[in-house]
Amino acid sequence: MHRRDFSRSLLVAGAATASGLTLSPALAQRVAFKEGTDFQRLAKPAPTESPAGQVEVVEFFAYSCIHCYNFEPVFHEWIKRKPAHVTVRRMPVAFNQNFVPMQRLYFTLEALNLVDTLHVKVFKAIHEERQPLTTAPAITAWIEKQGVNREQFLGIFNGQAAKLAEKAVGLQDAYQVEGTPALGIAGKFYVGGQGPRTLLVADSLIAEARKG
Instruction: Fill in the amino acid letter for 110.
Output: E
The CA–CA distances, whole Å, from 155 to 102, 111, 140, 160, 162 equal: 16, 11, 11, 8, 10
The neighbouring-strand residues paired with 42 are none
- Assess whether pLDDT exceeds 60 at residue 107: yes
Per-residue pLDDT tens for 126-157?
A: 999 999 999 999 999 999 999 999 999 999 99
- Average pLDDT taken over every residue of the chain: 88
The structural domains of the chain, with segments of one domain joined by +, span 7-210
HSE-up (13 A, CA, CB side) for residue 204? 22
- Alpha-carbon gap, residue 137 to 201, rounded angstroms: 39
- Alpha-carbon gap, residue 102 to 180, rounded angstroms: 14
**Using the 8-state DSSP alphabet, how is residue 39 labeled?**
B
- The three-state secondary structure class of 185 is strand
Per-residue pLDDT tens for 177-191?
A: 999 999 999 999 999
Closest to 8 (Cα-Cα) out of 86, 67, 87: 67
Architecture of domain 7-210: 3-Layer(aba) Sandwich (3.40)
